[in-house]
Amino acid sequence: MGKIAINIATGSLQKEEIIVGIDLGTTNSLVAIMHPESKKAVALREHNSSSLVPSIIHFTEQGTVVVGDAAKEKLASHPASTIYSVKRLMGKAYNDLQKNKTSYQIIDTNTDSLVRVAIGGKSYNPVELSAEILKELKTRAEHILKMPVAKAVITVPAYFNDTQRQATRDAGKMAGLDVLRIINEPTAACMAYGIGVNNAEPQVVAVYDLGGGTFDVSIVQLQQGIFEVLSTHGNTYLGGDDFDNAIVQYWLTKHPTLQASQELRLWAIEAKKQLSSSTNFEQPFQDVLLQLSIEDFNQLIQPLVNETLQSCQSALTDAGLTIADVNTVLMVGGSTRVPLVKQQVAQFFEKAVNDSVNPDEVVALGAAIQADILAGNTKDVLLLDVTPLSLGIETMGGLMDVLIPRNSKIPTKAGRQYTTSKDGQSGIIISVYQGERDLVQHNRKLAEFTLKGIPAMPAGLPKVEVSFLINADGILQVAAKELRSGVQTQIEVKPQYGITDADVEAMLLSSLENAEADIKARALVEAQTEGEQLLQTTEAFLSKNSGLLTQAELLSTAAAMQALQLSLTMTDKDLIHAKMDELNEISRPFAERVMDVAISTAMKGTKI
């Protein structure tokens, strides 16, 4: 049955469906919509209040939940029951968070499932906590708009993996929202800036997005409304929170009598903000005077800023571009207000940065534009995102066969045909991996399932097509089908939780550092696999046709097989190929003889 939206404030029908854009941030979150009259994206706010809702949740002693500014006031007085930086917990297991110092208790559940936070005898996972923030945003939007809000577009860092994207979608569902699309924050920022919509000539834009808890950079090509992400790079565990922690550690070193506390962290945040417009910070605290100069602050955060610049270089390299190819640099995220960040980014890209749009609101504004596109109200913009890591399956010998390379545009689909390696094989195990190395042991396993019920056929005869589909949200679906019999199965890949950000970052670096070794390893494994298959084939041939061979032929074949078997235990692919050639050379004459006998038998008594 169709639904009609009614504006409660005016009593009039709402002709266009309201779909909100939500920036679910580490430090702050907010909602934006496309204004029905001005047709411009605007952040929702009440009167002169801020559009930002602190991403903080407080659980009262009575069991009620408080979100936003009211919860922020409880950070110092009730640190154990006030949760902040939830976004950093998304898609994480306990072992990922060993370096994460929080005032609330994170539970070790001894599993790879989502980490849990203990509060007042109960425990909550990051999806449940994020859902509380989204509920508050939904309620706030409905209060301001005076109408129900049920659909949303939610943004995530470009470097969020499948697990984190799915967790974000699940949080939206728990909050009562139909999440129509998960889009990357840098891409949303491009849409908010409106660069490239009316340009005939293509432009290359670097989107530098440094928020409270995450960082990513995207290289985007814009032309006549088409937003094409060429590459992306980043770290889902680097942001303004780390600037705050660096200040706290600095003060703890300077004043050994102090202890880490939520109140001290709040003063660190205040120091960071003040140093954006002044050169010194001073604050009496307990029995000491907290001090921080702009020089000391810059020295503390320089290593963190350097990490972001390394990601910028990696993103350019992946896109096949140089700094000279970049036309514009967009600054996104509240942490880009730090003067050193602006200076270093401008110096790296050799041009002034563009921060003309409020960095706290820009992502939500872009999400609102995407929401308007999905509502059918904007038709002159096309969004093309990319997947940050290669996806493939394990083949014989533990090799990674890539079906969708990293930085492929999404949504996308790819497929490839495989076959069985043994006679009568009735099932094939499909192991799905993510990563950049040639051997699966160096990559991340996402999922595994079995295609069962394949009719008994000789090895190599079945045709199994494995297809990967990444939808517009970046969620992977894998299907396998045996084409001759029609047997098929499919799964939506919801990866195991527990990958660390260090692992994600290391994947790309490791693939570059080990490229030469990986090529040699792949060549060796391929040679060993081919050699093993030749031995199996030859052994099966001999057991079936030994009566047609002489004793000398049997001995020479056995010797060649033994030599090949020995070469497989070594690490010389050329030796393996040489021994395969020798075995083929010995077996070819009597294989031809057996074929002649088979043909003669089949044709016996047949007239032509």
Cα angle: 345, vertex 347, 352; to 5 degrees: 75
Shortest CA distance to 241 belongs to which of 418, 55, 71, 63? 55
Helices (H) and strands (E) in the chain, counts: 13, 30
Which residues on adjacent β-strands are paired with residue 83? Answer: 57
pLDDT of residue 378: 61
pLDDT of residue 271: 95
Same CATH topology for 391-507 and 516-603: the answer is: no
Q: Of 136, 162, 170, 185, which one is the catalytic site residue? A: 185
For residue 219, the tally of other CB atoms under 10 A from its CB is 27
Cα–Cα distance, 489 to 450 (Å, whole number): 8
Active site residue 544: no
Cα–Cα distance, 84 to 60 (Å, whole number): 15
pLDDT of residue 139: 92
Pairing of strands 409-410, 382-386: antiparallel
Q: Of 72, 74, 87, 342, which one is the catalytic site residue? A: 87
Active site residue 23: yes
pLDDT of residue 273: 92
Q: Where are the beta strands (DSSP E) in 325-439?
A: 328-332, 382-386, 391-395, 399-404, 409-410, 412-418, 428-434
Q: Of 170, 209, 436, 505, which one is the catalytic site residue? A: 209
Active site residue 185: yes
Q: Of 23, 96, 216, 505, which one is the catalytic site residue? A: 23
Residues contacting residue 401 through CB under 8 Å, at least 6 positions apart: 392, 393, 394, 395, 416
Q: What is the 3-state secondary structure (H, E, C) of 288-328?
A: EEEEEEHHHHHHHHHHHHHHHHHHHHHHHHHHCCCHHHCCE
pLDDT of residue 15: 47
The Cα-based distances of 586 to 277, 557, 581, 594 in angstroms read 82, 6, 9, 14
Active site residue 170: no
Instruction: Tell me the two tokens of residue 344.
Output: 């270093």
pLDDT of residue 298: 96
524-533 burial by CB neighbour count: b if 16+ within 10 A, else e?
Answer: bbbbbbbbbb
CATH of domain 5-384: 3.30.420.40
For residue 498, the tally of other CB atoms under 10 A from its CB is 19
Query: Which residues of the chain fall below pLDDT 70?
Result: 1-17, 47-48, 95-100, 109-113, 195-200, 224-226, 376, 378-386, 388, 407, 472-474, 492-515, 518, 591, 594, 596-608
- Domain ranges across the chain: 5-384, 391-507, 516-603
Q: Which CATH fold would you assign to the domain 516-603?
A: Substrate Binding Domain Of Dnak; Chain:A; Domain 2 (1.20.1270)
Pairing of strands 399-404, 391-395: antiparallel
Q: Which CATH fold would you assign to the domain 391-507?
A: Substrate Binding Domain Of DNAk; Chain A, domain 1 (2.60.34)
Instruction: Tell me the two tokens of residue 127.
Output: 């999806």
Summarised one tens digit per residue, pLDDT across range 369-390 is 888 887 767 655 555 566 767 8
Sheet of strand 82-83: strand arrangement: 65-67, 57-59, 82-83
